Amino acid sequence: MRNAEFDREKVLRSAMTAFMDKGYGKTSMQDLTKATGLHPGSIYCAFDNKRGLLIAALEQYKTDRSAEFQQFFSGNHAVLVELKAYLDNIVQECISCEAAKACLLTKALNEMAQQDEDVQKIITENLANWQQGIADVIAKAQANGELSSERDSLHLARYLVMGIYGLRTFAHTHPEAETLQQLAEQLFADITA
């Protein structure tokens, strides 16, 4: 008996970064061996192939993002305050590093559309899960009386998700902090109006 030497989470996070940098297609196995520190054989042993590594990385991404989401909404603050902080954090992601690196899910979704049904299904499920999380948060704010219940929480969540997608794409062409912050504020205002 003998255990694998590498740290699976670290490897997957490196792979995530590599895929976000160049996209799945343009990330070569050589890039991945460099990023992860693993040799081809090890990658193929642990993840079957490049696609398997992507799928495992997507899973890790989901885990990491879920934990982050919980962090933002587990405080004792008003829900809308937490939501605003969450949105601001997304804006910061778009500003600080490269916008392209912002989200593995949407990046892969754009690339894989109509090409790999299984991967697309995984991504779609993850995004649906995220949207539901936001809908739950909004519903909580409505139950609290922080937010009017006039508009359906699911509709509001969809609109916010759409806005976040748009914000990320917008950041590709206009990475200026001021512009993005303004857009995010308007988005938040329209949701909470």
- Kindly list the residues in this chain that would bind DNA in the complex (CB under 7 A): 1-6, 27-30, 38-42, 44-46, 49-51
The answer to whether the CB of 147 falls within 8 A of the CB of 192 is yes
- Annotate 157-191 with DSSP letters as a single string: HHHHHHHHHHHHHHHHH---HHHHHHHHHHHHHHH
The answer to whether the CB of 105 falls within 8 A of the CB of 126 is yes
Query: 7 or 59, CB closer to a copy of itself?
Result: 59
Q: How far is CA 31 from CA 37, 57, 138, 170, 178, in A?
A: 10, 15, 41, 28, 35
One-letter amino acid at 136 equals D
Among 124, 129, 132, 144, binds a copy of itself (CB under 8 A): 124
Task: Pick what 69 binds: a copy of itself, DNA, none; C-beta below 5 to 8 Å, kind-dependent.
Answer: none
Q: Show contacts with a copy of itself in window 6-25 (CB under 8 A).
A: 21-23, 25
One-letter amino acid at 99 equals A
- For the bound state, the minimum distance from the C-beta of residue 193 to DNA, rounded and expressed in Å, comes to 47
The position carrying tokens 């778009």 is 94
Query: 30 or 74, CB closer to DNA?
Result: 30
Count CB atoms within 10 A of the CB of residue 180.
Answer: 21
- For the bound state, the minimum distance from the C-beta of residue 56 to a copy of itself, rounded and expressed in Å, comes to 21
115 binds a copy of itself (CB under 8 A): yes
Query: 42 or 98, CB closer to a copy of itself?
Result: 98
Give the x/- contact pattern for a copy of itself in 125-154, rule: CB under 8 A.
--xx--------------------------
Q: Show contacts with a copy of itself in window 24-63 (CB under 8 A).
A: 25-26
Give the x/- contact pattern for a copy of itself in 79-98, rule: CB under 8 A.
-------------------x
Whole-angstrom distance, CA of residue 72 vs CA of residue 78: 11
What stretches of the chain show up as alpha helix (H) in DSSP? 8-22, 29-36, 40-47, 50-72, 79-96, 104-112, 117-144, 153-173, 177-192
- Write out the residues near a copy of itself by the rule CB under 8 A: 21-23, 25-26, 98-100, 106-107, 109-111, 113-115, 123-124, 127-128, 155, 158-159, 161-167, 169-170, 172-174, 179, 182-183, 186-187, 190
